[in-house]
Amino acid sequence: MTEMVFGATPVRAGDPILPRWWRTVDKWSLACVLGLFAIGLLLGLAASVPLAEKNNLPRFYYVTRQAVFGSVALGVMVIVSMLSPKQVRRLGVLGFLGAFIAILALPVIGTDFGKGAVRWLSVGGLSVQPSEFLKPGFVALAAWFMAASQEVGGPPGKAYSFVAAATIVVLLALQPDFGQASLVLFSWCVMYFVAGAPMILLLIVLALTVTGGVFAYGASDHFARRIDGFLNPEIDPRTQIGYATNAIQEGGFFGVGVGEGTVKWSLPDAHTDFIIAVAAEEYGTIMVLAIIALYCTIVVRSLSRLRGERDPFARIAGSGLACAFGVQALINMGVAVRLLPAKGMTLPFVSYGGSSVIASGIAMGMLLALTRRRPQGAMADLLGRAR
């Protein structure tokens, strides 16, 4: 009866790990991730060539690097997706500690690469953005705290998770990196809601967020410029938003043609933050809708599979990972069409970037692991715990 309701897949004794993984993993989500990565390489062939020529590099230098980063990310994703929820929790907590230490070191040894925000650690020609790896680790840590608080005599895990979230948001805002800070706060709110938080507390957090935004507007010129640019009804055609908006309008429904777009020659971040503008110009609205459909499929299927999950950690962490993944994509595309202020956030698995794509691979591997079909225990056990 339990398997009929919740779709659990029985695990046979001595069953090899690969067949068991393939039988229980969400193949639709896995296929969507592969589709996003393939689209990212396709768009990178067009978007990154102008930057490579500008830097006197081989024409397909960035595409080749993205293929290498992506192969590593997909490999890591598959390996992580084979883990149990307990192993996912351990991996996430250890990853969080490592990324948190790296973020603390940014003011001392970090670099901004001329972008005005100290977000990267540069070591021997390789750069790492710790905040990208902090997000999946934080979700695992916060979900662990919240799940522990539901046990009889458990610790005040929800309070611990809030302290962790507030600390991370402050550290990210000081870089400044308000985009990642808002994503961390959003994922915490989702997990807090799934864990059974009263709405009044979420409204208090929302009020504190608005207050923090007002304070940041007055204290940070970087933040104020982006908000002012977003609120200005006139779009300067010489800005990145101006170029991206014009490219999307020019693309129409079917696009101007493969390789015929011009926005990639004007936007310095065409292969990263504004790659959706390249997709809209060369391939049209139909490509953008296909990309949106892939993201929606991953999020909806993941949340659907988590509905029947009885492990509190798996349910809470999976919900946080799925929603953070979808909202990051929403923010990136929302900025390009001027629905949101500029955030400097990549499009998962599509934008160029080693830290971004590998961290996305880890996060998606964790999500696939938590949404795998597995026995949920006897119904009598669940009713007994409820009593």
* pLDDT at res. 178: 82
Instruction: Summarize pLDDT for 17-62 with one digit per residue, the tens.
Output: 888 899 999 999 999 999 999 999 999 888 888 888 888 888 888 8
Residue among 296, 281, 276 nearest 337 (CA)? 276
User: Is the per-residue pLDDT at 381 higher than 50?
Assistant: no
Q: Which residue has the higher pLDDT, 358 or 112?
A: 358
Domain map of the chain by residue range?
A: 15-374
β-pairing, 120-123 vs 110-111, is: antiparallel
Q: What is the pLDDT of residue 382?
A: 45
Is the pLDDT at 301 greater than 70? The verdict is yes
- The 8-class DSSP code of residue 128 comes to E
Q: How many CB atoms lie within 10 A of CB 45?
A: 16
Quick check: helix, strand or coil at residue 339? coil
Q: What is the pLDDT of residue 115?
A: 67
DSSP 312-335: HHHHHHHHHHHHHHHHHHHHHHHH
Nearest to 100 by CA among 17, 186, 167: 167
The model's pLDDT over 201-214, given as tens digits with 9 standing for 90+, comes to 778 877 877 777 77
Mean per-residue pLDDT of the chain = 84
Give 261's pLDDT tier (boundaries 50, 70, 90).
confident
Residue 14 has pLDDT above 60, yes or no: no
Task: Look at the pTM and tell me if it is higher than 0.85.
Answer: yes
Residue with tokens 């990210």: 172
